[in-house]
Amino acid sequence: MIKTFRGLMANDTQDTIVLHTNDGSTGYRIKKFEIIGITENVDYETSVKIYKISQTTLTDEIDFSDNTLLAAGLYGDSTSGTARPTQIVIFDQEVFNQDIYVTHKATSGSTAMNYYIELEQVKLDLSENTVATLKDIRNKAVRTLTT
C-alpha cells in the first residue's frame, strides 16, 4: 500500500509526519520524494530534507554521513533569462517505523516550498520491528548526547 503526504512549508520550518504505531509492526520506505516552488516568478536556492528524528537546528547543508537523514532535495530556479527549475532529489531505501520530519531551509531568500512524498507501507515481523525501533532509539539518544 502507498501512503502519500504533501505540504507547503515556509522557509526555516519543520513538518512532522506521524507514522508511529503502538506495536511498531508497520514500516515505511520512501518511494517518491518531490519538491517544487510555489511559482516560477521567484528565485529559489533551497533544500528540503527528511529526517528520522526532529531537528533542533535547520540548515541548507546536506550531509550523507548523518544516519538520521532519509532524503534530501535541492531546488533552484531563477527569474532571469530562460532558466528553468532544477530539482535534485536523493532518498534512502531504509525501512523505518517511527515519525519522520521534513525540513525546509533556503540558502537565499525566504520563499515557501511544496513537497510530495510517497511511502510504501510494509508489514514488519518481530525482528524487523525490533531493529527499526532500536535504530530510532539509538539515533535519539545520540542526538541528545551531542546537543
The 10s digit of each residue's pLDDT in 23-35 is 888 999 999 999 9
Terminal Cα distance for the chain, rounded: 37
Tell me the CA distances in angstroms from 54 to 57, 102, 109, 128, 139, one per residue in order.
Answer: 9, 9, 24, 22, 10
Collapsed DSSP state (helix, strand, coil) of residue 53 = coil
Which is more confident, 91 or 139? 91
Of the pLDDT bands very low, low, confident and very high (cuts 50, 70, 90), residue 81 is: low
Question: Quick one: DSSP state of residue 77?
Answer: E
Asked if the model's pLDDT at residue 44 lies above 80, the reply is yes
Average pLDDT over residues 41-64: 91
Of the pLDDT bands very low, low, confident and very high (cuts 50, 70, 90), residue 143 is: low
Q: From the CB of residue 7, how many other CB atoms can be counted at a distance below 10 Å?
A: 15
d(Cα 54, Cα 20) in Å, to the nearest integer? 14
User: 5 and 17 in contact (C-beta within 8 Å)?
Assistant: yes
Asked if the model's pLDDT at residue 138 lies above 70, the reply is no
Which pTM does this prediction carry? Answer: 0.85
- Helix, strand, coil % in the chain, rounded to nearest 5: 15, 45, 40
User: 111 and 36 in contact (C-beta within 8 Å)?
Assistant: no
Strand-by-strand arrangement of the 44-51 sheet: 13-17, 100-108, 44-51, 69-77, 86-91
Asked if the model's pLDDT at residue 123 lies above 60, the reply is yes
